[in-house]
Amino acid sequence: MAIDTPYRAIFCDLWTDITLDILPLRDVSFEDYIGRAGSLSGTIPIPDRALAERAHRIKPGRTTVYLERGGDLWWGGIVWTTNLQSSGRGVLTLGIQASTFDSYATRRRIRTNEFESRFTQPTDQFTIARSLWSSLSDGLGVSGIDVGDAAEESGVLRTASWRYGDETAYQEALDQLIAQGLEYQILVYRDPDDGKRVRQLKLGSPIRTGATDMIFDRPGAILSYSIPDDATRGGTQALARGASTNSNAGTESRPTMSDLRVPTKPLPDIWPQIDVSEDHNDISDKATLNALAQAAVDMPWGSVQIPEISIRLAGIVPPTLLGRTARIRITDEWHPTGLDARYRIVGVKVRPAERGRPDTADLALEES
């Protein structure tokens, strides 16, 4: 690539995954998360007619882009929008906005009777999630999504029902499972045997990868850090409201409600009561609502801390950062005796090296 960056931008046909071209991409940033879609943005410079002809092959909604670094795929997703711009001096650029393959779930609706009664009896949550992604994969062409080993189970049973005609987005259905503790991620990598690109569903509760801790120090590899502590996002008591089951038109319609739930893990100090409320208009099963309310108060109990560190990427940092355990060691004025804590990496945002700027990554963390 003409631009000084360790990454190659590989553009492919979404339906077949056949490579269309490898194009220069500048001003790049990309991110990925466990349980939600990540994004990529960048700009393709168009200095001449030849490059313009090549860039014409990028069609939003029908093109994928992969970022490759050192032979490894670090990111992959769908190009959803492009923006052709001409400056006052006539300089042409094509802006690219893409999202990880997870984003496809937001663009699809459940328009099948398959899920109306299939999971009304307790079923392993991995089986439910794989079934949703298998249905989604049918719309992505011959390459699709590899949904993994059908025999792998979490040991956690759920019930679920989504009816044809309710126009429930697949993402909404997946979010119901996520709220109860399921995690998923779409991995992209090259098959070690034939080198073909693979998009694979990874499930966990939670997702954990890597057998050893990744150690980051400050002073050292950590360039900067932030540790927000936000009491507006947490709570001490939760209630979930669901669909109305009242069929009598002459009486007031009231939603099905969960029981009041408090954190499973006791709060370490005395807290005032802080209420959390959730609406799930397509759920009428009280047991499911109870589980959702419990998850709502357990995950952000009290106040919420989402630490973030910025590190310099080096050759020793692997592409599979999500789910790894990071050991953070910080010594400064706030931590005079030294912070030494373990966190799970749940999000990563990368800014590739460009025009003298180092290759860096921001890591979003949660208590391990």
Name residue, tokens 């049973």.
157
Summarised one tens digit per residue, pLDDT across range 330-339 is 999 999 999 8
pLDDT band at 304 (very low <50, low <70, confident <90, very high): low
Query: In the prediction, which pLDDT does 239 show?
Result: 92
Name residue, tokens 């923006």.
83
Nearest alpha carbon to residue 327 among 215, 180, 162: 215
State the Cα–Cα distance between residues 328 and 333, nearest whole angstrom.
16
Calculate mean pLDDT across residues 259-277: 85
Calculate mean pLDDT across residues 313-326: 80
Summarised one tens digit per residue, pLDDT across range 127-166 is 999 999 999 998 888 888 999 888 899 988 888 889 999 8
Take residue 132 and report the two structure tokens written for it: 């949703």
pLDDT at 22 over 50: yes
pLDDT at 41 over 80: yes
Positive or negative torsion for Cα 332, 336, 342, 343: negative
Q: How far is CA 28 from the centre of its chain?
A: 19
State the Cα–Cα distance between residues 97 and 38, nearest whole angstrom.
11
Query: In the prediction, which pLDDT does 69 show?
Result: 85
The answer to whether the pTM exceeds 0.75 is: yes
State the Cα–Cα distance between residues 310 and 307, nearest whole angstrom.
10
Summarised one tens digit per residue, pLDDT across range 83-133 is 999 988 889 999 999 999 999 999 999 999 999 989 988 999 999 999 999
Measured N-to-C along each axis, helices 170-179 and 286-298 cross at an angle, to the nearest 10 degrees, of 70
What is the chain's length? 368
- Mean pLDDT (the chain) is 88
Q: How far is CA 311 from CA 28, 153, 197, 283, 334, in A?
A: 17, 35, 28, 43, 19
Query: In the prediction, which pLDDT does 301 show?
Result: 59
Query: In the prediction, which pLDDT does 3 show?
Result: 41
Summarised one tens digit per residue, pLDDT across range 219-235 is 888 999 998 887 777 78
- pLDDT > 90: what percent of the chain? 55
pLDDT band at 199 (very low <50, low <70, confident <90, very high): very high
